[in-house]
Amino acid sequence: MDEARFFAGGERVAVLTAEPIGRVLDYRAPEGGCAEGAFVVVPLGPRLVMGVVWGPGEGGFDLSRLRAVNRVLDAAPMRGELRAFLLRAAEYTLTPPPAMLRLATRSPGLGEAPGPRRVYRLAGTEPARMTEARARVLDALQSFGGAALTLSELAAAAEVTTSVVKGLVKIGAVLEGEAPRDLPYPRLDPSLPGKALSGDQAAGAERLRAAVQGGGYGTTLLKGVTGSGKTEVYLEAVAECLAMGRQALVLLPEIALTAEFLTRVEARFGARPAEWHSGATQTERRRLWRMVGQGDAQLVVGARSALFLPFRDLGLIVVDEEHDSSYKQEDGVLYNARDMAVLRASLCSAQVVLASATPSLESWVNAEAGKYARIDLGARFGVAELPEMRAIDMRAETLPGDQWISPTLAGAVKARLAAGEQSLLFLNRRGYAPVTICRACGHQIGCEHCDARMVEHRFLKRLVCHQCGDSRPIPLACPSCGVEGKLAPVGPGVERLAEEVAAKFPAARVAVLSSDLFGSARALKARILEIAEGAADIIIGTQLVAKGHNFPALTLVGVIDADLGLQGSDLRAAERTFQLMRQVAGRAGRGAKPGVALLQTFQPEHAVIRAILGGDEEAFWRAEAAERRVAGMPPYGRMAGIILSSPDLQAVFDFGAELARRDGPLRRIGAQVWGPAPAPIARVRGRHRVRLLVKADKGAPLQAALAEWTGQLKPPANLRLAVDIDPQSF
Q: Is 447 annotated as a binding residue?
A: yes
Site string for ligand ADP, 335-374 (x = CB under 6 A): ----------------------------------------
724 counts as binding Zn ion under rule CB under 5 A? no
Query: Binding residue per annotation — 438?
Result: yes
Of 18 and 235, nearer to ligand ADP (C-beta) is: 235
Tell me if 481 is assigned to a ligand binding site: yes
* Stretch near Zn ion under the rule CB under 5 A, chosen from 210-218, 282-290, 469-477, 663-671: 469-477
- Beta-carbon-side half-sphere exposure of residue 137 (alpha carbons within 13 Å): 30
- How many residues contact ligand ADP, by CB under 6 A? 14
User: What three-state secondary structure class fits 614?
Assistant: helix
Is the link from the previous residue into 680 a cis peptide, with omega within 30 of 0? no
**How near is the Cβ of 471 to Zn ion at its closest, in Å?**
9
Sign, Cα dihedral of 420, 226, 270, 306: negative
600 lines the binding site for ligand ADP (CB under 6 A): no
Q: Which of 468, 497, 559, 669 is the binder for Zn ion (CB under 5 A)? A: 468
Phi, psi of 359 (to 5 degrees): -60, 160
Burial track 102-125 (b if 16+ CB lie within 10 A, e otherwise): bbbbebeebbeebeeeebbbbbee
Q: Binds 224, which of Zn ion, ligand ADP, none (CB < 5 to 8 A, cut-off by type)?
A: ligand ADP
- 295 DSSP assignment: T
Judged by CB under 6 A, which stretch of 73-81, 189-197, 497-505, 623-631 contacts ligand ADP?
A: 189-197
For 125, residues 6+ apart whose C-beta sits below 8 A from its C-beta are 172, 173
What is the distance between the alpha carbons of residues 124 and 133, in angstroms, rounded to a whole number? 17
Q: Is 227 in the site for ligand ADP (CB under 6 A)?
A: yes
Per-residue string for binding with ligand ADP, 140-179, x by CB under 6 A? ----------------------------------------
Interaction partner, residue 387 (Zn ion, ligand ADP, none; CB < 5-8 Å by kind): none
Site string for ligand ADP, 197-226 (x = CB under 6 A): xx--x----------------------x-x
Helix (H, G, I), strand (E, B) or coil at 589: coil
Residue 388, H or E segment: strand 388-393
231 near ligand ADP, judged by CB under 6 A = yes
Can residue 583 be called a binding residue for ligand ADP (CB under 6 A)?
A: no
Closest to Zn ion by CB, 297 or 468: 468
Q: Least distance to ligand ADP from the beta carbon of 542, Å?
A: 20
Q: Which of ligand ADP, Zn ion, none does 558 bind, CB closer than 5 to 8 A by kind?
A: none
Residue 73, binding choice from Zn ion, ligand ADP, none, Cβ under 5 to 8 Å by partner class? none
CA neighbor of 648 nearest in space, from 719, 587, 586: 719
Residues contacting 411, CB < 8 A, separation 6+: none
366 makes contact, choosing from ligand ADP, Zn ion, none, with CB < 5 to 8 Å by partner type, with: none
Task: Single out the residue of 639, 656, 647, 645 nearest to residue 695, CA to CA.
Answer: 639
**Contact range with ligand ADP by CB under 6 A, out of 13-21, 230-238, 472-480, 559-567:** 230-238
d(CA 114, CA 104): 20
**Residue in 117, 118, 195, 461 binding ligand ADP, rule: CB under 6 A:** 195
Comparing CA positions, the residue from 45, 62, 54 lying closest to residue 13 is 54
Cα separation, 480 vs 595, whole angstroms: 48
Bridge partners (DSSP) of residue 646 are: 688
478 is an annotated ligand-binding site residue: yes
The CB-side HSE value for 316 (13 A sphere, CA atoms) comes to 32
Q: Does 537 bind Zn ion (CB under 5 A)?
A: no
Distance CA 198, CA 210 (A): 18
Minimum distance of ligand ADP from residue 544's CB (angstroms) = 17
- Please select the residue that binds ligand ADP; options are 98, 111, 114, 229, rule is CB under 6 A: 229
What does the DSSP 8-state code read for residue 78? P
Instruction: Spell out where 3-146 has E strands.
Output: 6-7, 12-17, 25-28, 34-35, 39-44, 47-56, 71-72, 118-122
Q: Do 318 and 234 touch, CB atoms closer than 8 A?
A: yes
Beta strands in 29-171 (DSSP E): 34-35, 39-44, 47-56, 71-72, 118-122, 149-150
Closest CA to 545 of 233, 226, 304: 226
Give which of ligand ADP, Zn ion, none residue 449 binds (C-beta under 5 to 8 Å, depending on kind): Zn ion
Shortest reach from residue 236's CB to ligand ADP, in Å = 10
Nearer to ligand ADP, 355 or 692 (CB): 355
> Which residue stretch of 35-43, 470-478, 634-642, 695-703 sits at the interface with Zn ion (rule: CB under 5 A)?
470-478
DSSP structure string for 410-441: HHHHHHHHHHT-EEEEE----SSBSEEEETTT
What does 201 interact with, of ligand ADP, Zn ion, none (CB < 5 to 8 A by kind)? ligand ADP
289 binds, among ligand ADP, Zn ion, none (CB under 5 to 8 A by kind): none
Contacts of ligand ADP in 369-388 (CB under 6 A): 381
Please, what is the minimum distance in Å from the beta carbon of residue 195 to ligand ADP?
4
Instruction: Say if residues 79 and 40 touch (Cβ distance below 8 Å).
Output: no
For the bound state, the minimum distance from the C-beta of residue 325 to ligand ADP, rounded and expressed in Å, comes to 19
Quick check: bond before 116 cis, omega within 30?
no
* Contacted by 227, from Zn ion, ligand ADP, none: CB < 5 to 8 Å by type: ligand ADP
The residues in 445-464 that bind Zn ion, with binding defined as CB under 5 A, are 447, 449-450
Specify the 3-state DSSP secondary structure of 95: coil
Task: Pick what 468 binds: ligand ADP, Zn ion, none; C-beta below 5 to 8 Å, kind-dependent.
Answer: Zn ion
Binding residues: 438, 441, 447, 450, 465, 468, 478, 481
- Residue numbers at the binding site for ligand ADP (CB under 6 A): 195-198, 201, 224, 226-232, 381
Binding residues for Zn(2+): 438, 441, 447, 450, 465, 468, 478, 481
- Residue numbers at the binding site for Zn ion (CB under 5 A): 447, 449-450, 465, 467-468, 470
